[in-house]
Amino acid sequence: MRAILGQQLSVAAATTLLGQLVERFGAPIEPLVTGITHLFPTPAVLADANLQKLGISPPRRAALRQLARSVCDKVIRFNAPSDDVSRMLRALPGVGRWTVGYFELRGLSEPDAFPFGDLLIRRQVALGGKPLTPLELEARAERWRPFRGYAVFHLWAGARPPRIA
């Protein structure tokens, strides 16, 4: 869900949307931790949810609902081998190479996962020049195998200003 919501959005915007999704469709709980008031909605709830009021595009809404339906129908099984999960996700409409790469990286902890065409990474690797094209970045990232995922995390971290305590 987070990978689909985060397509072509900033981390802050995707986090806000995810919070709204959880607040609207998740089951409320007695908070044991500050700020956690709802469980994440189940696939069954999201498969039939009216996502229009979240302010996301119709194709993205359709992709979220299709993902939820596919989990309910066991078309997508997250306990399958990583390659199979990736193949199942790629078969969904609205789920492209960036989304699958992001999911492999964050959801499956694949060390060589790569969110194809990520704009922030394209800018970071260009070192202040014109951002690389997605294909140029993919070619450059071949040198980082089998640990492209680690490079991605370093490049993302390097793009943020340092936190001052």
> What digits encode the pLDDT tens for the residues 22-37?
999 999 998 887 788 9
Distance from C-alpha of 51 to C-alpha of 31, rounded to nearest angstrom? 25
Do residues 23 and 39 make contact, with C-beta atoms less than 8 angstroms apart? Answer: no
Please indicate, yes or no, if residue 21 is contained in any of the structural domains. Answer: yes
Please indicate, yes or no, if residue 50 is contained in any of the structural domains. Answer: yes
Task: Report the pLDDT value the prediction gives residue 143, as an integer from 0 to 100.
Answer: 96
| Domain that includes residue 83, residue range | 2-96
Find, among 110, 101, 148, 112, the residue nearest to 3 by Cα.
Answer: 101
Active site residue 118: yes
pLDDT band at 162 (very low <50, low <70, confident <90, very high): low
Q: Same domain for 124 and 50? A: no
Q: Same domain for 14 and 87? A: yes
Q: Same domain for 76 and 28? A: yes
Please indicate, yes or no, if residue 113 is contained in any of the structural domains. Answer: no
Q: What is the DSSP letter of 28?
A: B
Q: Same domain for 16 and 53? A: yes
Catalytic-labelled residue, pool 73, 84, 112, 118: 118
Find, among 158, 161, 162, the residue nearest to 124 by Cα.
Answer: 158
> Residue 36 sits in a domain of what CATH number?
1.10.340.30
Q: Same domain for 69 and 150? A: no
Task: Report the pLDDT value the prediction gives residue 164, as an integer from 0 to 100.
Answer: 63
Q: Same domain for 74 and 143? A: no
Q: Same domain for 12 and 92? A: yes
Q: Same domain for 135 and 92? A: no
Please indicate, yes or no, if residue 150 is contained in any of the structural domains. Answer: yes
Number of domains within the chain: 2
pTM: 0.83
Q: Same domain for 89 and 131? A: no
pLDDT tens-digit profile of 118-137?
999 999 999 888 999 999 99
Q: Same domain for 92 and 139? A: no
Decide which of 81, 96, 111 is a domain's last residue.
96
Please indicate, yes or no, if residue 165 is contained in any of the structural domains. Answer: no
Please indicate, yes or no, if residue 37 is contained in any of the structural domains. Answer: yes
pLDDT score of 57 more than 70: yes
Percent of the chain scoring above 70 in pLDDT = 96
